[in-house]
Chain A
Amino acid sequence: MKTNDLILQTVSKIILFVIILFSIHLFFAGHYHPGGGFVGGLMTSGAIVLLLLAFDIKTVGKILPVDYKKLIGIGLLFSVGTGLGALVVDLPFLTHVFGYVNLPILGKTSLHTAVLFDTGVFLLVIGVTMTIIQTIGESE
């Protein structure tokens, strides 16, 4: 019997934006509020899992042509790279820099290299979660 998934698909298309927006908020608010790379990454992968529930695995692969195993590598590179960047300027490994920068549109913004480390965690968590779920989902 053919099932009609119109309600689920329509609602998940709308809800997807809410979840991804909230995960980005969690990611960027991590320095001053509860949140950070781990929760943000988990929530982004939750949004992709919602897409996987509403559509099949091939459609999602077409919408997001991402190799999640490579995403793990990119995330690790980000994290190790921020650590090695401190070595270049003769500081101990994983030393972070904090400062206020005047950006053209955003104005005075506080930037921290820990955000780059967090980006690594973010990408790594998405990569690991999606690899686990897709591997389990694909096996017959």
Chain B
Amino acid sequence: MIEIVRVIVGCCVVTGALLSLVTAFGLIRLPDVYTRNHAASKSATMGVMLVLLGAFLYFYTEEGYADARLILAISFIFLTSPVAGHLISRAAYNSGVKLWGHSVQDDLREHRLVQNSKEHLPACEPREADTKSQP
């Protein structure tokens, strides 16, 4: 029984570390803020949660000590990290960071253009990425 749990703990920690490594690769290799944010907020969350789960299982089986703080940390990271990613992405979009040149879809921009024309406001300036990606 304890050996099975040891294998599970090892799998959790190694998978979590690998996911964190994937996050780092994504941050270096992906082209713009939004795709990088996508890599950072998803796989890093899962990686950290798996490492914490491994630590919880280890202390529970080896020391017989159920650390509620680790469970709390797992749920905390699960709740907050995607929201942080969302806020960073939104702040980047609102301050006018350009999308990657090969992006084909920007629904939020179209929505804003429609809203601005309804409210008779001047439309926002056209973006380079838009003119490039038009078919």
- Where the two chains meet, the residues of A that have a C-beta atom closer than 8 Å to any C-beta of B are 1, 3, 7-8, 11, 14-15, 18, 22, 25
Contacts and interface: CB of A to CB of B under 8 A. Distances in A.
B83 A7 contact: yes
B6 interface: no
B87 interface: yes
Contact of B76 (A7, A8, A15): A15
A14 B83 CA distance: 12
A66 B86 CA distance: 32
Contact of B87 (A1, A8, A25): A8
- Chain B interface bracket (under 10, 10 to 19, 20 to 34, 35 or more): 10 to 19
B80 A15 contact: yes
B107 to A, nearest CB: 15
Given A3-B94, A7-B86, A15 B72 contact: no
B81 to A, nearest CB: 11
Contacts, number: 20
A18 B78 CA distance: 13
Interface in B67-90: 69, 72, 75-76, 79-80, 83, 86-87
Contacts of B72: 18, 22
B113 to A, nearest CB: 13
Contact of B79 (A3, A11, A25): A11
Contacts of A22: 69, 72
A11 B94 contact: no
Interface string B77-113: 0011001001100000010000000000000000000
A3 B108 CA distance: 13
A59 to B, nearest CB: 19
Given A7-B86, A8-B87, 18 more contacts: A1-B94, A3-B94, A7-B83, A7-B87, A8-B83, A11-B79, A11-B80, A11-B83, A14-B79, A15-B76, A15-B79, A15-B80, A18-B72, A18-B75, A18-B76, A22-B69, A22-B72, A25-B69
Contacts of A1: 94
Nearest to B115: A1
A22 B69 CA distance: 8
Nearest to A5: B87
A11 B69 CA distance: 19
Contacts of A8: 83, 87
Contacts of B69: 22, 25
A30 to B, nearest CB: 14
A114 B86 CA distance: 44
